[in-house]
């Protein structure tokens, strides 16, 4: 598999390292980044300054780790020639954009790929997608891991309680796993999101409670060390999703 990488921060660099190790699903054929300084250690032939030139390199998969604006600006074009895995899933909270991306994928027989990221148990949620009646996903983070200026708390503070679509608009770089959960279950308007700042912890906590119409229930709990706004496992989770790509035919697929 020929893989293009858009973004080269902590997660992008770790994905590059894992794929380049040679025991993975393919090879990195280009890296596009906003800053040439971050790309300084890469072989020059891999650096793609102009993302509009990506079709000339014939990637099978393009992975975005640069921010939601990439999907807004380039998502439809990328899906015209490659599978596309946007890690900044808050872009899909824009219903019109999400619809356009799914349509672009269907037209080209490519897939818009939703990676599980920090959301453990995604397979189980998707398998029962038509059964869920109520889903709540909660994040608890120390203020320093929120990636938001001006948030100060001396004790636990509820920052948001509402729909996933609304929290994605308020915290576009912080709640991608919430969007994945909503897409996999009851949708962004019905899935409830809670965000808590807690200065008493030094880690990240994720919780999902899903209740089905038939009385079924799934409870998911995850706790991991913080690495910026993401958990320490994020790069490994995304790499696992990349390894699962292949032979997918749905316009939107969960990996």
Domain edges within the chain? 2-118+234-254, 122-229
The DSSP 8-state label assigned to residue 68 in this structure reads T
What is the phi-psi region of residue 31: left when phi exceeds 0, alpha when psi lies from -120 to 50, beta otherwise?
Answer: beta
- For residue 204, is pLDDT > 90? yes
The rounded distance, in Å, linking the Cα atoms of 64 and 76 is 13
Q: How far is CA 57 from CA 4, 52, 82, 188, 229, in A?
A: 9, 11, 11, 35, 32
- For residue 227, is pLDDT > 90? no
**What pLDDT was estimated at residue 232?**
55
How much is the pTM? 0.91
Six-digit token string for 147: 């990636």
Packing angle, helices 10-20 and 234-244, rounded to 10: 50
- What integer best gives the mean pLDDT of the chain? 92
Q: What architecture is the 122-229 domain classified under in CATH?
A: 2-Layer Sandwich (3.30)
CA-nearest of 110, 93, 112 to 101 is 112
Give mean pLDDT, residues 156-167.
96
Q: What architecture is the 2-118+234-254 domain classified under in CATH?
A: 3-Layer(aba) Sandwich (3.40)
């Amino acid at each position: 598999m020929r893989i293009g990488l858009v973004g080269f921060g902590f997660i992008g660099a770790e994905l590059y390292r894992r794929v380049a190790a040679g025991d993975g699903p393919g090879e990195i054929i280009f890296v596009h980044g906003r800053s040439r300084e971050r790309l300084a250690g890469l072989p020059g032939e891999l650096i793609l300054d102009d993302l509009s030139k990506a079709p000339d390199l014939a990637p099978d998969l393009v992975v975005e780790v640069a921010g939601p604006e990439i999907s807004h600006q380039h998502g439809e074009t990328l899906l015209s020639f490659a599978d596309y895995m946007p890690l900044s899933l808050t872009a899909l909270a824009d219903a019109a954009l999400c619809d356009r991306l799914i349509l672009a994928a269907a037209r080209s027989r490519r897939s818009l790929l939703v990676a599980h990221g920090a959301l453990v148990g995604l397979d189980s949620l998707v398998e029962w997608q038509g059964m869920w009646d109520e889903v709540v996903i909660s994040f608890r983070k120390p203020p320093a891991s929120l990636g938001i200026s001006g948030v100060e708390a001396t004790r636990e503070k509820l920052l948001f309680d509402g729909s996933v679509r609304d929290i994605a608009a308020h915290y576009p770089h912080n709640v991608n796993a919430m969007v994945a959960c909503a897409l996999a279950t009851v949708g962004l308007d019905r899935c409830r999101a809670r965000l808590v700042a807690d200065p008493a912890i030094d880690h990240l906590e994720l919780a999902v409670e899903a209740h089905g119409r038939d009385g079924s229930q799934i409870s998911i709990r995850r706790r991991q060390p913080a690495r910026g706004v993401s958990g320490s496992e994020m790069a490994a989770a995304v790499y696992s999703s990349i390894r699962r790509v292949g032979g997918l035919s749905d316009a939107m697929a969960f990996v």
